Amino acid sequence: MLKVLKLKIQAGIVGFESPASGYVEQSINLDSLLIDKPAATFIGLAQGNSMVGDGIFDGDLLIISRSEPIKDNAVVVCAVGGEFVCKRLDMRNRRLLSSSPDYPPYQISDADDFTIEGTVIRSVRLFKPLNIQ
Domain CATH number, residue 67: 2.10.109.10
Q: Is residue 7 part of a domain?
A: no
27 catalytic residue (yes or no): no
- Find the catalytic residue in 8, 21, 65, 87: 87
Q: Is residue 49 part of a domain?
A: yes
Q: Is residue 88 part of a domain?
A: yes
Q: Is residue 40 part of a domain?
A: yes
The per-residue pLDDT of the chain, averaged, comes to: 84
pLDDT per residue over 29-66, tens digit each? 777 778 888 889 999 999 999 999 999 999 999 999 99
pLDDT per residue over 62-80, tens digit each? 999 999 999 999 999 999 9
Give the count of domains, the chain. 1
Q: Is residue 95 part of a domain?
A: yes
Domain that holds residue 68: 36-124
50 catalytic residue (yes or no): yes
Torsion of CA 8, 9, 14, 19, to 10 degrees: 50
Q: Is residue 67 part of a domain?
A: yes
Is the pTM higher than 0.75? The answer reads yes
pLDDT band at 8 (very low <50, low <70, confident <90, very high): very low
